[in-house]
Structure 1
Amino acid sequence: MPTRRDEASVDAPVTVFPSALRRAAAMTRLLDLDSRDELRVAHVHLVAQVLGKSERTVWRWLAAAREDNRLTRAESSHFTVTTEVRRLLALWGGNASRVHAELVQRAADNPDTPAAPSLSTLHRAIRRALTRGERAGLKSGEAARRAHEVFGQRPPTHHQTHPCPTT
């Protein structure tokens, strides 16, 4: 009798190709069918079923492929923590609100400076870029940083409660 784990491994499909490659291959084929006026709803339905997406999603992908000749997902550009932002975080003791105010002020003073991100965007970027230990260290010092780090801590030792046997 197979165990629960065996049943799941037999029933679950094994993914060999990353989803981006599967999407690109499907879009290439759908565009080819579309260029020959042979694209049917059944084709889109089959691709949606195989990729585990809705038909509406596949139609949106197809529209994007027609417009931009883009077969894969568009990469989102998000704000990243630069060396200057790290320096400001250190200056302001890890206070993201003060860093944000500083970035807004710099953008207002100099029109050549890029626009400041929103406060929530800055918070997300800081959470992505800095570990909990780094954030704690900026706010409360080195001892707080080390409290979050595993490196450099000694494991608990075993103390014998009875004396060594004598010979």
Structure 2
Amino acid sequence: MARPTPLAFDKKKIVAENRRARFEYFVEDVYEAGIALTGTEVKSLRFGEGSIAESYAEVKNGEVWLVNSNVPEFSHGNRFNHEPKRPRKLLLKEREIAKFHGAVERKGMTLVPLSIYFNGRGRAKVELALAKGKNAADKRATMKERDWQRDKARIMREHS
């Protein structure tokens, strides 16, 4: 019998976070994926450098690739240093890849990375979301709801 997946991922050290993703997209499902990195990329991420603000994931030839993520060159690296914006392969099960491919092709969804982090065992992981884009009215409603929650908290603080 398969081991049940945990409800929340074991995030020990968050390196990069895409904070605009939840504003720009309706997040349907969230998955944890491994990421294939070179040695200097891992060292650079351990120093807390890296960005996934403009990145996305795509399914190509039965593999999932993280595109446009920026991991700067390692400062103490030598001639074997990595290329900062290269596509990086994500490590997923075939069933998950097939699910992503079907959702992207048929339903018009997008694969958006939410964060890069190191788990409890020290492995670099990507939190990947299957998401649907919001239109301008949905974004306005999100902003209105966020402002109301902030005002409500302020009013409760003042009257308590």
Q: TM-score, normalised by structure 2?
A: 0.23
Q: Which has the higher helix share?
A: 1
Q: Which has the higher strand share?
A: 2
The structure with the larger Rg is 1
Q: TM-score, normalised by structure 1?
A: 0.22
Of structures 1 and 2, the one scoring higher in RCO (CA 8 A, sep 6+) is: 2
